[in-house]
């Protein structure tokens, strides 16, 4: 288990690295995180929902993802409530206070333990990931994901500390010392992550930590900027530059308050033909050749905010002036004539006018659609493509309208809506990972390109990044010592 001194110390990325390393070394690894909290999710081949981070780790391990890799997923809906997804299916919304109380925790504990047991019967080693801090002592009795999970699995815990944020000695030592002796013995190693500068300057610090904690430091891993692994959190999105670039197609992703599945845009971010940025600023939206409305966990609330801050009017103006507008999932719903929520699936708002860019109407429904799909463009171009759906609600043509579908699924169903080559919407996440669709999206603006650029192969790019990440971690982590620990020799 990779456990952390806190959130965002790099556990997920290190787990991804170890999944690839163990695969390269001839083992059959699989990732596992008992409980994840994220708006980035993914649909398994069975049509069930897990956290995107575990789907990425499964990809690094060369596996199709499965709900046993992340049996419990919390999708925040506000500062106080989350949708609870158990074994891939939503079981309702829970207030944070009620969720973390001891009552009723045993049912969830039994479920995550059972998922781990099924997974560990099929794969070895299991690369487990903790959540937040290892030493949240106020939550110990209700903890499902850190030390109690490691104890159930008999897992060796490697504690990850983030030196970039400062205070690494206190956070590592404090995390270890706050554990009761019977839990402390599971912590077998320490990794210091995100180091900047000359590693030789930390040699004394490494020895001090080992003496203080009585635990070996397996490695000091330098901060990197040249390896690209899909991120779980949206914190850094707004920092991506909105300055328009000459010779490239400028794409603005509308920065929603409840943005979800923003990994939809990772492929565009790496495409050499594209400059991609995130914004809800009216002036910055005007710079874009293409505006993408992304998925949202609270579609009506985000639509209301777009009207309030002027972004909705800016999108409509950009469309009139020749920009392309694409909506994905919740963004597709927003582009329609109206969104209705008579059953209060999202909240108290029962109906709201959409942007009116597409002749469709959406009604929010309690049942969630989660599935992987294969599809072709409705006009027959581009060949077979792949993606996945995760959404609440059903979208149909508005009364008196003949909406043209964007795609045809292998099942024979239609998906999305297209008005012309510059105005379209879809429920399919991952649609931008398909080069044929990206080519179609960019085609109306190809005259802006400084020179002919090659089509971008995102799958090959990701495989290359997993190998680069594995090489980086091998270089700075004592893998022979880690193997000795896992084999019980240390």
Residue 93 has pLDDT above 70, yes or no: yes
Residue 236 has pLDDT above 60, yes or no: no
- 470 and 444 both lie in a single domain: no
Residue 399 has pLDDT above 70, yes or no: yes
Determine the Cα–Cα distance for residues 288 and 275; give it in Å rounded to an integer. 9
Determine the Cα–Cα distance for residues 380 and 408; give it in Å rounded to an integer. 9
CATH number, position 161: 3.40.50.300
- 374 and 314 both lie in a single domain: yes
- 377 and 482 both lie in a single domain: no
- 13 and 52 both lie in a single domain: yes
From the candidates 66, 258, 391, 429, give the one annotated as an active-site residue. Answer: 429
- 267 and 349 both lie in a single domain: yes
For the packed helices 52-60 and 11-24, what is the interaxial angle rounded to 10 degrees? 20
Identify the band that residue 77 occupies on the pLDDT scale cut at 50, 70 and 90. confident
Residue 129 has pLDDT above 70, yes or no: yes
Give the pLDDT of residue 241: 55
Give the pLDDT of residue 430: 96
Determine the Cα–Cα distance for residues 43 and 372; give it in Å rounded to an integer. 6
Determine the Cα–Cα distance for residues 47 and 371; give it in Å rounded to an integer. 4
CATH number, position 323: 3.40.50.880
- 287 and 411 both lie in a single domain: yes
**Which tens digits make up the pLDDT trace of 22-58?**
999 999 999 999 999 888 899 999 999 999 999 999 9
423 is catalytic: no
- Does any domain span residue 233? no
Give the pLDDT of residue 240: 56
- 386 and 442 both lie in a single domain: yes
From the candidates 19, 65, 213, 329, give the one annotated as an active-site residue. Answer: 329
**Rg value, the chain, Cα:** 23
- 478 and 436 both lie in a single domain: no
Give the pLDDT of residue 234: 52
Identify the band that residue 293 occupies on the pLDDT scale cut at 50, 70 and 90. very high
- Does any domain span residue 457? no
* Domain around 87: 2-228+464-486
- 46 and 188 both lie in a single domain: yes
Burial class (CB in 10 A: 0-12, 13-18, 19+), 453: middle
Query: How many domains are there within the chain?
Result: 2
**Which tens digits make up the pLDDT trace of 314-340?**
999 999 999 999 999 999 999 999 999
459 is catalytic: no
- 293 and 217 both lie in a single domain: no
- 60 and 196 both lie in a single domain: yes
pTM reported for the whole predicted model? 0.81
- 8 and 148 both lie in a single domain: yes
């Amino acid at each position: 288990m990779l456990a952390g001194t806190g959130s965002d110390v790099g556990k997920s990325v290190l787990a991804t690295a170890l999944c690839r390393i163990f695969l390269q070394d001839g083992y059959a690894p699989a990732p596992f995180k008992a409980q994840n909290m994220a708006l980035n999710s993914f649909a398994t081949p069975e049509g069930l929902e897990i956290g995107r981070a575990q789907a990425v780790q499964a990809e690094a391990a060369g596996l199709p993802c499965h709900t046993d890799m992340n049996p419990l997923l919390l999708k925040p809906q506000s500062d106080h409530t989350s949708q609870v997804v158990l074994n891939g299916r939503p079981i309702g919304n829970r207030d944070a206070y009620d969720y973390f109380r001891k009552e009723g925790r045993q049912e969830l504990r039994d479920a995550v333990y059972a998922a781990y047991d099924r997974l560990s019967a099929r794969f070895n080693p299991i690369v487990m990931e903790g959540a937040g801090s290892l030493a949240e002592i106020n939550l110990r009795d209700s903890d499902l994901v850190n030390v109690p999970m490691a104890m159930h699995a008999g897992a060796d815990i490697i504690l990850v500390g983030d030196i970039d944020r400062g205070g690494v000695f206190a956070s590592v030592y404090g995390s270890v010392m706050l554990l009761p002796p019977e839990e402390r013995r599971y912590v077998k190693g320490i990794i210091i992550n995100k180091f900047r500068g000359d590693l030789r300057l930390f040699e004394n610090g490494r020895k001090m930590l080992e003496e203080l904690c009585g635990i070996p430091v397996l490695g000091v891993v330098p901060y990197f900027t040249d390896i690209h692994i899909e991120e779980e959190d949206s914190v850094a999105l707004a920092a991506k530059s909105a300055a328009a670039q000459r010779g490239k197609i400028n794409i603005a992703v509308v920065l929603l308050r409840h943005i979800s599945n923003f990994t939809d845009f990772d492929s565009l971010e790496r495409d050499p033909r594209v400059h991609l940025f995130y914004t809800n600023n009216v002036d910055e939206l005007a710079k874009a050749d293409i505006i993408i409305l992304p998925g949202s966990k609270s579609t009506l609330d985000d639509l209301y905010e777009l009207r309030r801050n002027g972004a909705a009017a800016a999108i409509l103006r950009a469309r009139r002036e020749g920009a392309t507008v694409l909506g994905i999932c919740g963004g597709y719903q927003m582009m329609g004539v109206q969104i209705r929520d008579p059953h209060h699936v999202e909240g108290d708002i029962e109906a709201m006018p959409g942007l009116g860019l597409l002749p469709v109407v959406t009604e929010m429904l309690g049942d969630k659609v989660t599935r992987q799909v294969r599809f072709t463009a409705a006009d027959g171009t581009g060949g077979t493509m792949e993606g996945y759906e995760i959404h609440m609600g059903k979208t149909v043509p508005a009364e008196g309208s003949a909406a043209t579908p964007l795609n045809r699924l292998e099942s024979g169903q239609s998906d999305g809506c297209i008005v012309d080559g510059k105005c379209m919407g879809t429920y399919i996440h991952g649609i931008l990972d398909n080069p044929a669709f990206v080519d179609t999206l960019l085609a109306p603006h190809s005259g802006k390109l400084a020179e002919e650029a090659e089509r971008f192969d995102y799958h090959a790019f990701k495989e290359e990044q997993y190998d680069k990440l594995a090489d980086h971690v091998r270089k700075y982590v004592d893998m022979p010592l880690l193997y000795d620990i896992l084999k019980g020799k240390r």
